[in-house]
Structure 1
Amino acid sequence: MINWLQHAPVYPIVVPLIAGAAMLLLADKHRILRASISVLAALAQLAAAITLLALAAGAGDIWPKGVGVYLLGDWAAPFGIVLAVDRLSAVMLTLTAVLGVASLFYSLARWDRLGVHFHSLFQFLLMGLNGAFLTGDLFNLFVFFEILLAASYGLILHGSGVARVSAGLQYIAVNLVASFLLLISIALIYGVTGTLNLADLAVRAGTLGGTDRLLFEIGAAVLGVAFLVKAGAWPMNFWLVRGYSSASAPVAAIFSIMTKVGIYALLRIGSLLLPTGAPAAFSLEWMFVIGMATLIFGAIGLLATQQLDQLVSYCVIVSAGTLLTALGMPGVRLTGPALFYLVSSVLTTGAFFMLVELVERTQTFGANVLAVTLDLFDLDDPESPNRSDDVVGVAIPAAMAFLGLAFVSCALLVTGLPPLSGFVAKFSLLSAAVAEANASMQPADAWILVAGVLVAGLAGIIAFGRAGMRIFWGNDERTTPRLRVLEAGPVSILLLLCVALAAGAGPVSAYLDAAARSLDDPSLYIDAVLSASPTRAIGGH
């Protein structure tokens, strides 16, 4: 009998791959079938991610040390392709799946019909994200990066408009450069160490010296720059605001987690290389400085813009800066709270991007843009094959009350005001920073982090207070939009998850603190990967 849990780590990759490829074979007239396949695939990925979350926590004693290893092709590391699951990767997989399901349901209201192959591209994007969180070697990290980026190129151009195409081309150009840097760095590192397996690389890096060590440092520096570009760090994040704010609502929502892939890669590789004397590119000092600069840039951006979609995009930059700054602090004290903040911020910005499109329907300009888009794709033509009779939706009770409450909730979350998970995340982060300042002989960095987070929060309060008054109180031409459950539902679910995070902060924080401790002891990951035996060698299936 096949042990299905044994193959659980590969499900988040195989399921979207098969679903995306299958939908490419279906003609446009099978729109309902394609949507059904996409939804089922997304739900299956969510179930697989939750399973891995439980297994990494020790459920069933399948992974006693909290690290699961899957050998693709049944070849042992470092020669074969390895997938590795620990608490951190399981959290990222679950977060991706939750955001993916919400964004996908939102897109079913209309956005999946405003272009070709939306569902296939969406599944390939999820496949790339999942693979990046699961892979155990650098080259396949590059491969999965390229898969998610290739899918994102199609998704960011999904829809119509000169602004979207212009921003999309800039996004594509910047990410192609970053991918080129990533490939160069991988080649340098492989040429010096002879391996790309992350666990094996951590072992061999500590033995390098002389010219080899210098070349390795150069390769690591280029690698760090590539990850910082993808993480949206200053000064290499000029592409982010325009690209995210121009994308369609469900695409921008799923993009909320894409910058976190770069941060995840920095955290994963940096934690493995730290005991060997981490290269300068992965040193905590540089990460702290770049993170603080990113945080300040995001705070200034919040004050400088008044467009709601750009405000949310700057929130993504603020979250990236906060994470880089917190993770740039020594020790493990801030890592758990930083991961809690990561989860809360991704859910919040995902919900906010979708909410922005609903709020803009109350404005005359937003309604005109949507009308042009519908007309371009013949969705307002009763005889059009693309038309759905309910494309304009039905009015839900108290639509303006829902939009106002959702907007206030999102504003509270991103600024860190009580009582939602944003407050819990920032409070735990600041508490850990104060404790670090009291325990450290050099407390300046901790107090700088506290000041930066508070200033960014104040900038957010000013920016969203100003935007809320303009949208809901200061516009005499406001109209009541017609919302669909498929649109309001995903926003509500993500916000309710933030409420649940606040209510269950204890167990969630305990899980994330355990993930932080495992990162602080990379020997668990290294031993699990390098000691994994092929099943054929032990009489397996």
Structure 2
Amino acid sequence: MSWANHLIILPILFPMATAAAMIPIDERNRTLKGVLSFVSTLVLFAATIILLGIAASEATTGGTYVYQLGNWPAPFGIVLVLDRLSALMLVLSTVLGLAAQVYAMARWHTAGYHFHSLFQLLLAGLNGAFLTGDLFNLFVFFEMMLAASYGLLLHGSGPLRVKAGLHYIAVNLAASSLFLIGVSLIYGAAGTLNIADLSVRITTLGPESRMLMESGAALLGIAFLVKAGMWPLGFWLPTAYSAATPPVAAIFAILTKVGFYVILRLSMLLFGHEAGTSTGFGQTLLLCGGLLTIAFGAIGVLASQAMGRLAGYSVLVSSGTLLAAIGLGNSAVIGGALFYLVSSTLTICAFFLLIELVERGRDAGADVLAVTMEAYGDMDEDEEEKEVGVAVPGTLAVLGLCFCICAILMSGLPPLSGFLAKFAMLHELFNENGFGGNLPIRAAQWAFVALLILSGLSAMIAMNRIGIRTFWTSLEGTIPRVFLIEITPVLLLLLTTIFLSLQAGSAMRYMDATANALANPKNYTDRVLSAPRVRPAGGD
């Protein structure tokens, strides 16, 4: 077995070992813990970049690699599976983890206990969910991720954070119960929980077993749609994300994408074009729910006066767009949606970190006061004009530039990756040579186009409104104190989106290849089910 195959388990094993090693260290040595956690995440980043390169190489395996835990073959043993999609999600989660980790080192990691251990366990749960090849271990890693997220959301205490955290815990515990029931029903119907084996057996199920299988899949889907934030199941998300500390909210930007990842993976493998009468199961619901989520998120973005809630509703817009893309049933659109996934997640992560820096020099309730003065015209004209000609301080200039880039990305304006991602989805939707051939554009597809454009317009209006109040007509006039370690991760995330824009051609080729592999899952199932056991050296 090559070293590359053993590397697959590193994104799970290494953060778990790091978290365990940091627990006995006294909390007064938080700097030591922070250094260990940062080094661990940096090693993960290097490993995931190598895994991305391995998955992108289709020379011998079609981009799919299987790691058999305990050296037991599927479907009886536990397997980890690396392909283009899982490698992409690994890199994305690690990049967000690095940014949040560096930002937290400024001061937020001292706001509570065991921050770094919980952070590493969250990364281990995320990476395990992206790599696992069976539903039971997906449940295990999902629970590991959620357990760590409970502690991280409550990190820093405060009544608003505790209230939002308790709601978050209650909702996700209910979702976990549905997850477990759904997995039980699927096992009862098919007799296996290996995802590749399920995709083969689903074509042989009788009517009764198929109904049980679809019921289990529906419960499983609800559990992950709660995590993805689909309307009306995502009512908890804006409040919870806006209440979290900045580094926690930043890493939470990837948690909703776990729901999208699992739904995309299962819908393509289990309910693709070879699933018989179950083909396209739940697709209409995903499309309608995604469209409603976009509309709900866009309205929330327009109504938000606080930047934290605006970011939370932007997460819902992103989730709704991705879910609707799955519901369209067009593999080419899914390629553009994956590009949008990367761009929107990086942008929202950067925005969550930026919010605290921008609001650091503002008084509580400044947004409400600004709205009141705007509505009733109480601003003194002489006072409004006396600041004309004053130079903008360097700190505010950097923060304002970052805010403008976030606004362009979230609005989907050219020439950055937010625009390119939306353009890629719309281009494939209208392309006559796409998956639908010469079929006419349906009403639901027109609704997707309209909401995609209107959601960008709502983000542009909201970001312009808040940007003007914050940087042009600020009531306080104070300059926030920003450390280099805090602004650096924001700048790097935004530079990553710019690099993604410059390399859009290469990125889209990777995304299209990923979407094509998902639409034709035979290589995945064959590789998982036919992977041989590893022979020990010098013996059988």
| TM-score with structure 2 setting the length | 0.92
How far 1:445 sits from its partner (Å)?
2.7
Return 528-537 or 428-437, whichever deviates more.
428-437
Tell me, in whole angstroms, the C-alpha distance in 2 between the residues paired with 1:111 and 1:470. Answer: 27
Q: Which amino acid aligns with 2:501?
A: A
Tell me, in whole angstroms, the C-alpha distance in 2 between the residues paired with 1:135 and 1:423. Answer: 33
Does the aligned pair in 2 maintain the 1:221–1:280 contact within 8 Å?
A: no
Q: Which amino acid aligns with 2:415?
A: P
Deviations 1:329-367 (A, max 9, x none): 123110110000000000000000000000111202299
- The equivalent position to 1:432 in structure 2, one of 421, 428, 433, is 428
Q: Hey, what does 1:321 align to over in structure 2?
A: 320
Q: Which amino acid aligns with 2:327?
A: G
Structure 1 residue 197 corresponds to structure 2 residue 206:
no
Return 299-308 or 349-358, whichever deviates more.
299-308
Q: Hey, what does 1:51 align to over in structure 2?
A: 50
SS at match of 1:334: helix
How far 1:210 sits from its partner (Å)?
2.3
- The equivalent position to 1:410 in structure 2, one of 400, 406, 412, is 406
Q: Hey, what does 1:28 align to over in structure 2?
A: 27
Does the aligned pair in 2 maintain the 1:85–1:134 contact within 8 Å?
A: yes
Alignment of 1:176-325 (within 5 A): 176-273=173-270, 274=272, 275-277=274-276, 279=278, 282-325=281-324
SS at match of 1:479: coil
SS at match of 1:483: coil
SS at match of 1:83: strand
Q: Hey, what does 1:340 align to over in structure 2?
A: 339
Tell me, in whole angstroms, the C-alpha distance in 2 between the residues paired with 1:262 and 1:538. Answer: 41
- The equivalent position to 2:81 in structure 1, one of 79, 84, 88, is 84
Q: Hey, what does 2:495 align to over in structure 1?
A: 496
Tell me, in whole angstroms, the C-alpha distance in 1 between the residues paired with 2:442 and 2:281. Answer: 21
Pairs aligned (count) = 510
How far 1:169 sits from its partner (Å)?
0.4
Q: Which amino acid aligns with 1:256?
A: A
Does the aligned pair in 1 maintain the 2:430–2:441 contact within 8 Å?
A: no
Q: Hey, what does 1:71 align to over in structure 2?
A: 68
Alignment of 1:387-398 (within 5 A): 398=394
Structure 1 residue runs without a partner (length 5+)? 368-395
Does the aligned pair in 2 maintain the 1:132–1:141 contact within 8 Å?
A: yes
Deviations 1:186-230 (A, max 9, x none): 011111111000000111111111221111111111111111111
Does the aligned pair in 2 maintain the 1:420–1:499 contact within 8 Å?
A: yes
Q: Give identity over the alignment, percent.
A: 52
Does the aligned pair in 2 maintain the 1:337–1:509 contact within 8 Å?
A: yes
Q: Which amino acid aligns with 2:430?
A: V
Does the aligned pair in 2 maintain the 1:434–1:447 contact within 8 Å?
A: no
Q: Which amino acid aligns with 1:257?
A: I
Q: Hey, what does 1:445 align to over in structure 2?
A: 444
Deviations 1:415-471 (A, max 9, x none): 101121111111112222222588323433322211110011111111111111111
Tell me, in whole angstroms, the C-alpha distance in 2 between the residues paired with 1:204 and 1:438. Answer: 30
Q: Which amino acid aligns with 1:260?
A: K
Q: Hey, what does 2:385 align to over in structure 1?
A: none
Q: Hey, what does 1:422 align to over in structure 2?
A: 418
SS at match of 2:332: coil
Structure 2 residue runs without a partner (length 5+)? 367-391
Tell me, in whole angstroms, the C-alpha distance in 1 between the residues paired with 2:309 and 2:76. Answer: 45
Does the aligned pair in 2 maintain the 1:266–1:282 contact within 8 Å?
A: no
Structure 1 residue 532 corresponds to structure 2 residue 531:
yes
Q: Which amino acid aligns with 2:407?
A: A
Return 329-338 or 496-505, whichever deviates more.
329-338
Does the aligned pair in 2 maintain the 1:433–1:447 contact within 8 Å?
A: no
Tell me, in whole angstroms, the C-alpha distance in 2 between the residues paired with 1:482 and 1:14. Answer: 38
Q: Hey, what does 1:474 align to over in structure 2?
A: 473
Tell me, in whole angstroms, the C-alpha distance in 2 between the residues paired with 1:280 and 1:251. Answer: 38
Tell me, in whole angstroms, the C-alpha distance in 1 between the residues paired with 2:396 and 2:140. Answer: 44
Tell me, in whole angstroms, the C-alpha distance in 2 between the residues paired with 1:231 and 1:280. Answer: 22
How far 1:539 sits from its partner (Å)?
6.5
Q: Which amino acid aligns with 1:128?
A: G
Tell me, in whole angstroms, the C-alpha distance in 2 between the residues paired with 1:414 and 1:301. Answer: 14
Structure 1 residue 487 corresponds to structure 2 residue 486:
yes
Q: Which amino acid aligns with 2:423?
A: F
Cα-Cα RMSD? 1.9
SS at match of 1:499: helix
Deviations 1:20-77 (A, max 9, x none): 0000011123222211110111011111111110001117x4x531100000011000
